[in-house]
Amino acid sequence: ATNRTFTMIKPDGVENGHIGAILEKITASGFRIVAMKLTQMTKADAEAFYAVHNERPFFGELVEFMTRGPIVAAILEKENAVADFRTLIGATNPADAAEGTIRALYATSVGENAVHGSDSDENAAIEGAFHFAGREMF
């Protein structure tokens, strides 16, 4: 079925000048952009967005990284969007990411891995609603 996923081009992807190349791969792969903006998360935003990881040893580093500069937040729609987007971005650690995936091409490390992709339909809806009001979704 057609469904939606949520993505962010993370601060490293923006800093390294990869917004255009990443969006080109996303749209060329058949995703329709439902919502999109350049924004920056506050510390409170990142702590809430990543609350599921708050016991992890890398939590502080993750919050620091995700707030250090602007991100591109977007909601994407496609047949099988959540799973197909995770295939397109590749494994969390770029060293394990398949050739041609966004992380293989543009990520620098497991922490600074260029893009986010929701891991379920439920989280896609939660994460999309975290960043966008209904009137910003088209």
Active site residues: 116
To the question of whether residue 27 is assigned a binding role by annotation, the answer is no
Q: Which two tokens stand for residue 66?
A: 């995700």
User: Between vectors from CA 122 to CA 84 and to CA 137, what angle results, nearest 5°?
Assistant: 80
> Between residues 70 and 111, which has the closer beta carbon with respect to ligand CMP?
111
To the question of whether residue 10 is assigned a binding role by annotation, the answer is yes
Q: Residue 81 is inside which H or E element, if any?
A: helix 81-89
> Between residues 44 and 95, which has the closer beta carbon with respect to ligand CMP?
95
- Asked if residue 35 lies in contact with residue 23, where contact means CB atoms within 8 angstroms, the answer is no
Give how far the C-alpha of residue 20 lies from the chain's centroid of Cα atoms, to the nearest Å: 15
> Between residues 78 and 118, which has the closer beta carbon with respect to ligand CMP?
118
- Asked if residue 76 lies in contact with residue 43, where contact means CB atoms within 8 angstroms, the answer is no
Instruction: Kindly list the residues in this chain that would bind ligand CMP in the complex (CB under 6 A).
Output: 53, 58, 61-62, 92, 110-111, 113, 116
Rg (the chain; Cα; Å): 14
To the question of whether residue 56 is assigned a binding role by annotation, the answer is no
Report in angstroms how near the CB of residue 135 gets to ligand CMP at its nearest: 27
Binding residues: 10, 58, 86, 92, 103, 113
**Binding-site positions for ATP:** 10, 58, 86, 92, 103, 113
